[in-house]
Amino acid sequence: MSKAYKISLALLVLLLVFLTWLEANEPQEINWIPSYAALDKIPLGTKVLFENLKQQDLDLQEVNIPPYEFLNDSTISGTYFFLNNSLGFDEPELKRILTWVARGNTAFFIAENFSQNLLDTLNLKMETLVPKKGISSKPFLNLKDPALENNRPFLFDKETYQDVFIIPDSLPKDVLGVTQLQQDSAKITAPKINFLRDTVGKGMVYLHSTPKAFSNYFLLQDNNATYAEKVFAYLPTQQPVFWDHYYKTGKSFYTSPLFVILNSKPLRWAYYFVIIGSLLFIIFEGKRKQRSIPVIKPLQNQTLDFTRTIAGLYLDRADYKSIASKKIALFLEYVRSQYRVATNEVNQGFYDRVAAMSENNTKEVERLWQFMERLEKKNSVSKEELLELNKAISAFKKK
């Protein structure tokens, strides 16, 4: 192993160690994606809520398939719990959910954006609270029932937007919770509806427009977990709660093994080390063992020598007639390919065209062709006639 090889290898190892140290000590940015997935520990995940519910005296069951498919079983009864930043049901699915509710079950929808067909069915509209100048966009939250209302409203301590429900006066609903953007006073003075209940057949539908109030970030601040406890006080007791995993922005999609590897820090670095190690092996080990490629000289063009040999044989045999015939045939092929003139019909027009295109005299062209015709008709050709033919053809081509 050469000294240069050792130095290069040591530098590469030091570089890898340095990059690993940088990666390990790089501060990770906070992920504010509204996942609401039960396994996510990010601020807007719901791991805290999900784990707390599992510890309660609840029959909590997880659902990983679409509601339309899950509710195909008519024997299912209980509370279907949906929590996401957006809930969009198509008509057949919404109809199946509400039909199931009408049989005496409960649907609990928590989202910022609801599908329009759900809002239309319940005669609801929504609007987003816009902060005025000097007013924070951090929302206050509280419950309406005096038995559940907190003395001080709960605060989501981060600038965000707040969606609320608008209920027509002619269609009263059970208003369960209110909200308001933060003001100087720690009170809700202009309440807007963010939590309500409506009856569908023999069952109940609950709608809540602040999913952030059930996120890890909110529940781990101060006594905000109390807010979730009071909201869940409305859940029917002694019935199973079906936690929906299907309608989740942050649900996992593993499309390939490489996706799994690159999304795990230890696996990602192991993958990088394998690639870098393979490259080092190819660069150093492969270079060391590579065989030299022998230089193969290309074959020489022997066409000219072959032609000279064949011509010599003809001359030695004094077969001037064959040589003249072949020379005439080659010359006619030259005329056809060079001047695009057919040589099977020889007349005055032919002589004129060939003379014009080759820049020869018409008489000279006519004499050359007549001479070639005489040679073709003769049984034998003398050496002098062959030399004269060669001289005439060379003179024709030089023009």
- Answer for the pair 34, 249: CB distance below 8 angstroms, yes or no: yes
CATH of the domain at 108: 3.40.50.880
Do 160 and 225 lie in a common domain? yes
Q: Is 285 contained in some domain?
A: yes
Do 233 and 95 lie in a common domain? yes
Amino acid identity of residue 247, one-letter, is Y
Do 240 and 261 lie in a common domain? no
Do 317 and 345 lie in a common domain? yes
Q: Is 166 contained in some domain?
A: yes
pLDDT of 67: 96
Q: Is 116 contained in some domain?
A: yes
Q: Is 250 contained in some domain?
A: no
Q: Is 251 contained in some domain?
A: no
State the pairing for strand pair 241-244/79-83. parallel
E strand or H helix at 126, and its extent?
strand 125-129
Do 220 and 324 lie in a common domain? no
Alpha carbon dihedral 330, 335, 341, 343, in 10-degree steps, equals -40
Q: What pLDDT digit, counting tens, does each position of 299-342 carry?
A: 676 656 656 665 665 566 667 888 888 888 888 898 888 888 88
Do 189 and 52 lie in a common domain? yes
pLDDT of 71: 96
Do 69 and 126 lie in a common domain? yes
Separation between Cα atoms, residue 22 and residue 14, nearest integer Å = 12
Q: Is 296 contained in some domain?
A: no
Do 277 and 322 lie in a common domain? no
Do 240 and 329 lie in a common domain? no
- In order, the DSSP letters of 281-300 are IIIIIHHHHPPPPPPPPPPP
Q: What does each C-alpha distance from 95 to 86, 101, 115, 318, 370 come to in angstroms?
A: 18, 10, 13, 108, 103
Do 20 and 77 lie in a common domain? no
Number of structural domains the chain divides into: 3
Do 313 and 353 lie in a common domain? yes
- In order, the DSSP letters of 263-286 are TSHHHHHHHHHHHHHHHHIIIIIH
Do 285 and 361 lie in a common domain? no
Separation between Cα atoms, residue 46 and residue 36, nearest integer Å = 5
Q: Is 325 contained in some domain?
A: yes
CA 69 from centre of chain: 30
Residue located via tokens 């709608």: 207
pLDDT of 253: 47
Q: In the structure encoding, which two tokens stand for residue 270, read together?
A: 């192991």
pLDDT in tens, the chain (399 residues): 567 767 777 777 777 777 777 766 667 788 889 999 999 999 999 999 999 999 988 899 999 999 999 999 989 999 999 999 999 999 999 999 999 999 999 999 999 999 999 999 999 999 999 887 767 789 999 999 999 999 999 999 998 889 999 998 767 689 999 999 987 778 898 999 999 999 999 999 999 999 999 999 999 999 999 999 999 999 998 899 999 999 998 665 444 576 667 767 777 778 887 888 777 777 766 655 556 677 777 767 665 665 666 566 556 666 788 888 888 888 889 888 888 888 888 889 888 888 888 888 899 889 989 988 988 888 888 888 888 888 888 888 887
Strand partners, 345: none
The parent domain of residue 366 ranges over 303-398
